[in-house]
């Protein structure tokens, strides 16, 4: 009997030790993704316009399009993505533990996340700022009139910190109502658990668009923070970080260069007289090889869902229920902040 | 003597396996070393992985500013206070819900447990249904369900606004809103200390009177009036003091402000949901403990009490329950521990207790997951040990005293 117990202990010990060592991340993420044949991408648990499921349960949206573009660049197939919806609270743990390859989930780029949390932001795909939404019937016209109001916030976000700072510096009080997900926040706001809902202005627009009577609610004019949102990867895997960064840059550069989903087939078939277009689409130079992906990765990215401008218009632009204008997210040539470094 | 004794055997290494006197020690030693090696491998592996990620173990984050706000807070907390203070606010919120949860669960459990043994078929079956329904569904579902009920059945605070509000404040005192229940809060004006002191004194007097009453009963067999005197002691002195001091304790009624009520006291919706769900859930288990305890007392005790002319409710309170307590208390203590630990599910409905503050927002904002979770486990351990300690003290006072 004792011998059995002993042997059992030894067996368990051996197995556990083996598993513990096997846990170390082997190889670069790029190789892992290529070998697996699919990209594991962390997205929002549901935010209309950014990440939501269509009638066929397929994920679509502005953030989802970034995942699909990366899958197109690396694997040549924009559908080779395993989507993993993650909450605000768990997103960084899931990424750092290696469960997902990248996170594209309206996440704000901040110093401490970049430096202390050991994450690597691959750029900005939406310049946002935190705003407030209230029922129109309250007759509030400024966020400074919100003294004493119960405010719904998503736990574990930068919004939580901005909110505390805003109310403290303006010397007014509020009652925080903590919520885990965007859809829960919506429910709580409609049930009256809070008179005010605060999150990034784009998220407010998306939430408002999903209401039965959007016109009963107003977004207040104050934007109380800078929220540069973008995709991110683990710190320390620079090759993979480059892939995600230059996929995003390709989307932005394509719009600037006038490459659209309509003309990308024609432009990538043979070299044009614009060398930058040629380098981006792989008909000239070896940018793809340098990045460790196919030569025509740029063309594959644009074929997936179009360039940045097309993705914006399709999911969150002015002709969608969300109705966001380009604003800061216009190309630098149009007075916006989007500025892709040269493909050279 | 030396003739009888066997010659001292020379110790051979093979005896470690073959000799039954040593074999046990040998295997225990090997198992112990293997276990230690396993632990060492895991710790070193964790340390190596943290090292590779460039993360060190440090609790310095506790003294940095939290920069978030917490509701509810039993001690004052500003967003400029430290993460440590935020954790303390969370601990107090855990203790708050655990304290009221244990009281309510005990009351519900004792009533349900006794009534389940009732001779009345309907009452016994209703209690059986209650116990089975609550015991066999995960407590998280009950928490979420009650939270939903609060959200659906209570009024939107904005309905109380305007000239002609669609919702009314019950008796001008209670407002049932989705944020929680607003009720009048006491206002302590000068002189109220005297009233409170008198009230505490009358509670002490009640305690001594009940001891005196017992002594008279045991010494002379006379039964002094119980309930009327207790009732009088409870209300009369405090009320007299209240009016003599010129009514120093006022009530602050909730009044509708711009967004929600101001003034009065608010019992938050998440607190109500958590408290009610935990109490009903744990109450079902305690009911079973109580039933088991009562059934453990032999029927002869009840029959003997009846033979002496005791009425059924006296038989229960004087003969059966005091003996049953010895069986009931140990499992009930472990139910209290369960309730306290289950309160960590509050994170799902946004009640900010220790899981929500230290292991929720603080963890998220600082990225110190390892440290925060370790500290959280330590805090739960301390709370649980404190509860068992107090429970064991009480258990020692009611257990069979051997003279």
Over residues A10-30, the mean pLDDT reads 53
Tell whether A150 is within 8 A of chain B (Cβ). yes
Residues of A in contact with B155 (CB under 8 A): 192
Domain contains B57? no
A252 and A338 Cβ atoms separated by less than 8 Å: yes
Say yes or no to pLDDT of B3 above 80: no
pLDDT at A2 over 50: no
Chosen for mutation from A192, A195, A220 (greatest number of chain B CBs closer than 10 Å) is A192
Query: Which residues 35-64 in chain B show a CB within 8 A of chain A?
Result: 35, 37-38, 41-42, 45, 49, 52-55
Q: Which of A176, A205, A297 is nearest to A243 (CA)?
A: A297
First to last CA, chain B: 45
Q: Is residue B232 part of a domain?
A: no
* % of residues, chain A, pLDDT over 70: 92
Q: Residue B285: which of B343, B333, B348, B347 has the closest Cα?
A: B333
Identify the H or E element spanning B100.
helix B83-116
pLDDT at B382 (0 to 100): 95
Least Cα separation, residue A51 to chain B (angstroms): 22
Q: Are A153 and A198 in contact (CB under 8 A)?
A: yes
Chain A residues near residue B35 by CB distance under 8 angstroms: 9, 13
Our count of domains for chain B comes to 2
Kindly indicate the confidence band of residue A26, based on its pLDDT and cuts at 50, 70 and 90. Answer: low
Is residue B341 scored above 90 in pLDDT?
yes
- Per DSSP bridges, beta strands A130-135 and A149-154 are unpaired
Say yes or no: B318 and B393 in one domain: yes
The yes-or-no verdict on residue B20 having pLDDT over 90 is no
Query: What is the DSSP annotation of A76-98?
Result: S-TT-EEEEE--TTTHHHHHHTT
pLDDT grade for B332, boundaries at 50, 70 and 90: very high
> CA A123, CA A179: separation in Å to the nearest integer?
28
The whole-number average pLDDT for the span A284-308 is: 92
Average pLDDT over residues B178-191: 81
CA distances in angstroms from A307 to A122, A250, A311, B189, B361, listed in the order given: 17, 8, 6, 69, 37
From CA A70, how far away is CA B385, in angstroms rounded?
A: 52
Q: What SS3 string covers A137-201?
A: HHCCCCHHHCCCEEEEEECCCHHHHHHHHHHHHCCCCEEEEEECCHHHHHHHHHHCCCCEEEEEH
pLDDT of A324: 87
CB-count burial class (<10 Å; 0-12, 13-18, 19+) for B184? middle
Cα–Cα separations (whole angstroms), residue A310 to A111, A259, A329: 31, 10, 13
pLDDT of residue B97: 95
Q: Which residue has the higher pLDDT, A53 or A14?
A: A53
Task: Confirm whether B279 is domain-assigned.
Answer: no
> What pLDDT digit, counting tens, does each position of A30-73 carry?
999 999 999 999 999 888 889 999 888 899 999 999 999 999 99
Domain assignment of residue B34, given as a range: 13-41
Spell out which residues of chain B touch residue A117, defining contact as CB-CB under 8 Å. Answer: 367
Domains of chain A, CATH where assigned: 29-127+228-334 (3.40.190.10), 130-225 (3.40.190.10)
Please write the tens of the pLDDT for every residue from B221-248: 887 887 888 888 888 888 888 888 777 7
Three-state SS across B353-370? CHHHHHHHHHHHHHCCHH
- Evaluate whether residue B51 is within a structural domain: no
Spatial CA neighbour of B169 closest among B84, B263, B43, B271: B263
pLDDT at A21: 42
A275 touches chain B (CB under 8 A): no
B25 and B89 fall within a common domain: no
Chain B contact for A6 (CB, 8 A cutoff): yes
The predicted model gives A160-177 an average pLDDT of 90
Two tokens at B148?
A: 């939903």
Asked if B156 and B217 count as a contact pair (C-beta separation under 8 A), the reply is no
Q: How confident is the model at residue A4 (pLDDT cuts 50, 70, 90)?
A: low
Q: How are the residues of chain A apportioned to helix, strand and coil, as percentages rounded to the nearest 5?
A: 45, 20, 35
Q: B72 preceded by cis ω (within 30°)?
A: yes
* Residue of B57 and B382 predicted with greater confidence: B382
Tokens of B59: 């609790």
Tell me whether residue B193 is in a domain: no
Same structural domain, B296 and B386: yes
**Interchain CB contact of B79 with A (< 8 Å):** yes
Q: Residue B312: give its domain's CATH number.
A: 1.10.3720.10
Is residue B94, in this structure, part of any structural domain at all? Answer: yes
Chain A CB contacts of B27 under 8 Å are 2-3, 5-6
Which single residue is written with the structure tokens 């405090």?
B238
pLDDT of residue A1: 43
Residue-level pLDDT at A22: 40
Alpha-carbon distance B251 to nearest alpha carbon in chain A (angstroms)? 21
pLDDT of amino acid A159: 87
Taking only the tens place, the pLDDT of each residue in B159-184 is 777 767 777 777 777 888 888 888 88
In terms of C-beta distances under 8 Å and separation of at least 24 residues, what long-range contacts does B310-318 make, across chains too? B316/B114
Question: Would an 8 Å CB–CB cutoff place B68 in contact with chain A?
Answer: yes
State yes or no: pLDDT of A246 exceeds 90: yes
For A231-240, the pLDDT digits (tens) are 999 988 899 9
Name the closest residue on chain B to residue A188, using Cα atoms.
B151
């Amino acid at each position: 009997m004792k011998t059995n117990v002993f042997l059992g202990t030894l067996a368990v010990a051996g197995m556990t030790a083996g598993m513990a060592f096997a846990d170390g991340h082997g190889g670069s993420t790029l190789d892992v993704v290529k070998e697996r044949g699919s990209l594991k991408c962390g997205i929002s648990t549901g935010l209309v316009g950014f990440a939501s499921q269509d009638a066929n349960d397929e994920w679509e949206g502005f953030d989802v399009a970034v995942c699909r573009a990366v899958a197109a660049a690396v694997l040549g197939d924009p559908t080779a993505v395993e989507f993993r919806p993650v909450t605000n609270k768990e997103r960084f743990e899931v990424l750092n533990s290696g469960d997902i390859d990248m996170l594209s989930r309206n996440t704000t780029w901040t110093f401490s996340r970049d430096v202390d949390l050991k994450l690597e932001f691959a750029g900005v795909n939406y310049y946002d700022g935190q705003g407030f939404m209230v029922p129109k019937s309250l007759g509030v016209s400024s966020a400074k009139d919100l003294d004493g109001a119960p405010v719904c916030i998503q736990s574990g976000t930068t919004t939580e910190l901005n909110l505390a700072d805003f109310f403290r510096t303006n010397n007014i009080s509020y009652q925080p109502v903590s919520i885990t997900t965007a859809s829960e926040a919506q429910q709580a706001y409609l049930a009256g658990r809070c008179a005010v809902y605060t999150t990034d202005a784009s998220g407010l627009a998306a939430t408002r668009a999903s209401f039965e009577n959007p016109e009963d609610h107003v977004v207040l004019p104050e934007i109380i923070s800078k929220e540069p949102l973008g995709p991110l990867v683990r710190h320390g895997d620079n090759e993979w970080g480059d892939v995600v960064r230059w996929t995003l840059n390709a989307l932005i550069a394509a719009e600037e260069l006038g490459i659209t989903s309509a003309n990308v087939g024609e432009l990538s078939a043979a070299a044009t007289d614009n060398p930058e277009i040629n380098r981006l689409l792989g008909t000239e130079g070896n940018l793809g090889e340098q990045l460790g992906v196919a030569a025509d990765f740029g063309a594959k990215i644009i074929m997936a869902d179009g360039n940045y401008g097309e993705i914006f218009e399709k999911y969150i632009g002015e002709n969608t229920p969300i109705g966001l204008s380009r604003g800061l997210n216009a190309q630098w040539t149009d007075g916006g902040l989007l500025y892709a470094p040269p493909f050279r | 003597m030396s003739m009888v004794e066997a010659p001292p055997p020379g110790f051979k290494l093979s005896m470690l396996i073959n000799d039954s006197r040593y074999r046990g020690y040998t295997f225990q030693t090997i198992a112990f070393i293997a276990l230690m090696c396993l632990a060492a491998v895991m710790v070193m592996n964790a340390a190596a992985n943290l090292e590779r990620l460039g993360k060190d173990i440090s609790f310095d984050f506790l003294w940095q500013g939290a920069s978030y706000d917490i509701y509810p807070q039993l001690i004052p907390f500003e967003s400029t206070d430290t993460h440590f203070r935020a954790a303390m606010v969370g601990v107090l919120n855990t203790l708050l819900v655990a304290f009221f949860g244990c009281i309510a669960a005990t009351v519900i459990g004792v009533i349900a447990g006794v009534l389940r043994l009732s001779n009345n078929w309907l009452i016994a079956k209703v209690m059986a249904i209650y116990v089975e329904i609550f015991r066999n569904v995960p407590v998280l579902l009950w928490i979420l369900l009650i939270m939903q009920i609060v959200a659906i059945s209570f009024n939107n605070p904005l309905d109380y606004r305007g000239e002609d509000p669609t919702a009314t404040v019950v008796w001008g005192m209670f407002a049932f809103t989705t944020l929680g229940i607003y009720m009048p809060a006491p206002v302590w004006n000068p002189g109220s200390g005297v009233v409170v002191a008198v009230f505490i004194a009358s509670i002490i007097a009640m305690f001594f009177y009940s001891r005196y009453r017992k002594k008279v009963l045991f010494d002379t067999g006379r039964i002094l009036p119980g309930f009327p005197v207790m009732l009088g002691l409870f209300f009369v002195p405090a009320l007299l003091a209240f009016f003599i001091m010129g009514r120093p304790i006022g009530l602050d009624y909730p009044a509708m402000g711009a967004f929600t009520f101001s003034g009065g006291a608010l019992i938050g919706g998440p607190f109500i949901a958590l408290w009610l769900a935990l109490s009903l859930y744990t109450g079902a288990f305690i009911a079973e403990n109580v039933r088991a305890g009562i059934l453990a007392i032999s029927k002869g005790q009840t029959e003997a009490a009846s033979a002496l002319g005791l009425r059924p409710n006296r038989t229960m309170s004087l003969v059966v329950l005091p003996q049953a307590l010895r069986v009931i208390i140990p499992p009930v203590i472990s139910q209290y521990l369960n309730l306290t630990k289950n309160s960590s599910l509050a994170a799902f409905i946004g009640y900010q207790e220790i899981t929500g503050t230290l292991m929720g927002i603080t963890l998220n904002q600082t990225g110190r997951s390892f440290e925060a979770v370790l500290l959280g486990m330590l805090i739960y351990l301390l709370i649980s040990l404190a509860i068992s300690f107090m429970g064991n003290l009480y258990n020692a006072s009611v257990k069979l005293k051997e003279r």
